[in-house]
Amino acid sequence: MNELEGKVAIVTGGGSGIGRAVALLYAKEGALVVVSDIDEPGGQESARQIRSEGGEALFVRADVSRPPDNLGLVESAVREYGGLHIAFNNAGIGGPLAPTGEYPIEGWDKVISINLSGIFYGMRYEIPAIINSGGGSIVNMASILGIVGTKFSPAYVASKHGIIGLTKAAAIEYAGKNIRINSVGPGYILTPLLTNTLDENTLNSLSGLHPVGRLGTSEEVAELVLWLSSPRSSFVTGSYYTIDGGYTAQ
């Protein structure tokens, strides 16, 4: 359908998992994709896969916790492709596991700086560029843990709750300037964030938390992100969409 033909899109955390799936789907739909990650080999591989399928992609290494990196990422998109229309602010980490009363301060600071401040920094520079390009869409990566809690991850839960609020505030501010801003809340998804840190028994137990009886896939989340990034969701802004196999319906 080429729903994004000629649009310029940034994907942070695009070196693997959901970020890579979204970058590939954006390109399949005609977007010019700027893939970003701190994982340079992973990000380069995502861009290579896009080009191997006939798409157009550029990799830019960026640490979203650093404002200058976010500015440089946007400037690279504008310089290389002439503008910016779409941003998927996806980069994030899980952080340490510990009760709140014992949580490491440096762990808190790192999770908040990447997961929450990183999205603010991204929008801080993306929004002016999108306005200059005539408008577009921003999708921010939250989580089911943006509306419910879980033990031993206070920084992650707080950061994801914050993303939903930040998204709503920005959406209201820019609704009259042809920018739509939404967030998504995946359940537990089979990505390296899980598979590299959890054993098979733990993954199986997580599957059981979802009424559908399984974990989600990156490709399923990418379809939702594509819809929110495309003209098909033209009356949607300031919203938070779960994609969680029924997790939060319980």
Note the pLDDT of residue 198: 85
- Alpha-carbon span 120 to 183, nearest angstrom: 13
List active site positions: 156
Residue 171 — very low, low, confident or very high, per pLDDT cuts 50/70/90? very high
CA angle (175, 129, 4) in 5-degree steps: 75
Per-residue burial over 128-145, b = 16 or more CB atoms within 10 Å of its CB, e = otherwise: ebbeebeebbbbbbbbbb
With a cut of 70, say whether residue 1 has pLDDT above it: no
> Torsions phi, psi of 141, nearest 5?
-85, 110
The whole-number average pLDDT for the span 163-184 is 98
Closest CA to 19 of 191, 155, 183, 136: 191
Where does residue 63 fall: left (phi above 0), alpha (psi -120 to 50 degrees), or beta otherwise?
beta
The whole-number average pLDDT for the span 74-85 is 98
With a cut of 70, say whether residue 29 has pLDDT above it: yes
In angstroms, the Cα distances linking 45 to 51, 129, 216 are 10, 26, 23
Q: Please give the mean pLDDT across all residues of the chain.
A: 97
With a cut of 90, say whether residue 194 has pLDDT above it: no
The whole-number average pLDDT for the span 61-65 is 98
pLDDT in tens, 211-232: 999 999 999 999 999 999 999 9
pTM: 0.97
- Alpha-carbon span 118 to 113, nearest angstrom: 6
With a cut of 90, say whether residue 180 has pLDDT above it: yes
Note the pLDDT of residue 163: 98
Note the pLDDT of residue 191: 87
Closest CA to 4 of 19, 26, 33: 26
The whole-number average pLDDT for the span 58-82 is 98
| Domains in the chain with CATH codes | 8-185+217-242 (3.40.50.720)
